[in-house]
Amino acid sequence: MTLEALRGRAVAPAVFAVTPGVVARFVAATGDEATRWREFAPPGLAAAAFFAAAPALLALPEVAGPARSLLHTEQAFTWQRALAVGEEVAVAGKVASVRSRGAMHLVTFEVAAAGAAGPWLQGAATFVLSAEAVAAAAEEVEPPPDARGICDPASVLPLPGEGAALSPLRRSASRADLVRYAVAGGDANPIHQDHRAARAAGLPGVIVHGLLLAAWMFQAAARYRPGPHPLRDARVRFRRALRPAVPAVVTGTVAARGEVGALLDLALEAADGSGPVATAAIRVTP
């Protein structure tokens, strides 16, 4: 079977239990506010739910064969409601589309999660799979395991007016943080932990998980809506890799305000000034 033949293929639903330990580990691994997320899950926990289903896709022989390089390029989520600690949701997944060009394949995988209280989440991710290295970066020495930049608290703030700038949020991850996130978020791609695997994919060394970058951007947006259901939807584009220990900052503006919630345009940039690592359009709830 070719990768194109996987279009429409569903994977077996996965059960995702939102236990206190699952939430606490995710909050700690992403640097979120522990006091805020005790009774409800942070929006970023969508990543862990997504990776409750995604391994079934990645384990398919048709996918695992050409996956010398597996890079996450885009992620979208829509949250229908708050997710309470103690809930259990079923996560269904399917291959929405496959576009191939030679040894490179763009695969879009969609998930939907629902529990006894009703639908909670919809998500779609686009991956680049290739039997060849998709980058050709020069090798870099890995930083010490615990080295990282400054991380700010994600305290709740008043939402500024349309066109105004958002308060910057500094973030960074150590190599040890990446191990913790792999456990908490379920993303075991070796390019985030193993130097040799990262080099085989053409990267300079291990890189920060895409959905950890997204979690930081969700935190930056969620500061502007108190309560358990701060975000309505988000679309994140991963534009280049971020290395561990490199300081980064989330900045943004209020693009629009309306009855359905405010739309925020955000960018995550490394401190070296080399351009955005990721960009996002995130709508906060009214």
pLDDT (tens digit per residue) in 43-67: 999 999 999 999 888 788 777 665 5
Q: Does pTM top 0.75 for this prediction? A: yes
CA distance 74 to 224: 24
How many helices (H) and strands (E) the chain has is answered by 6, 10
Residue 1: per-residue pLDDT? 45
What is the Cα–Cα distance from 73 to 190, expressed in whole angstroms?
17
Q: Compute the radius of gyration of the chain from its Cα atoms.
A: 18
Name 157's Cβ contacts closer than 8 Å, sequence gap at least 6.
Answer: 167, 223, 224
Q: Residue type at 158?
A: P
Give the model confidence (pLDDT) of 173-215 as tens digits.
Answer: 999 999 999 999 999 999 999 999 999 889 999 999 999 999 9
Amino acid 60 reads L
Separation between Cα atoms, residue 158 and residue 214, nearest integer Å: 22
Chain segment 72-116, per-residue pLDDT in tens: 999 999 999 999 999 999 999 999 999 888 778 889 999 999 999
Gap between the Cα atoms of 150 and 172, Å rounded: 6
Give the type of residue at 35: T
C-alpha closest to that of 23 among 40, 7, 8: 40
Ordered by where they begin, the domains of the chain are 3-284 (3.10.129.10)
Q: Which of 233, 177, 251 is nearest to 209 (CA)?
A: 177
Residue 195 tokens read as 């130097």
What is the rounded average pLDDT for all residues in the chain? 93
CA distance 156 to 54: 32
Ranges of beta strands (E only) in 135-275 are: 169-171, 231-238, 248-256, 263-270
Query: How many other C-beta atoms are found inside a 10 Å radius of the C-beta of residue 239?
Result: 17
Residues ≥6 apart with Cβ < 8 Å to 19 = 85, 86
SS3 154: coil
According to DSSP, the residues that pair with 70 across neighbouring strands are 129
Does an H or E element contain 219, and which? helix 210-222
Query: What is the three-class DSSP state of 35?
Result: coil
pLDDT of 134 strictly over 90: no
Q: Which residue has the higher pLDDT, 81 or 130?
A: 81
Instruction: Grade residue 117 by pLDDT with cuts at 50, 70 and 90.
Output: very high
Report pLDDT digits (tens) over 211-248.
Answer: 999 999 999 999 999 999 999 999 999 999 999 999 99
Sign of CA pseudo-dihedral 203, 206, 211, 217: negative
- Burial (CB count <10 Å: 0-12, 13-18, 19+), residue 226: exposed
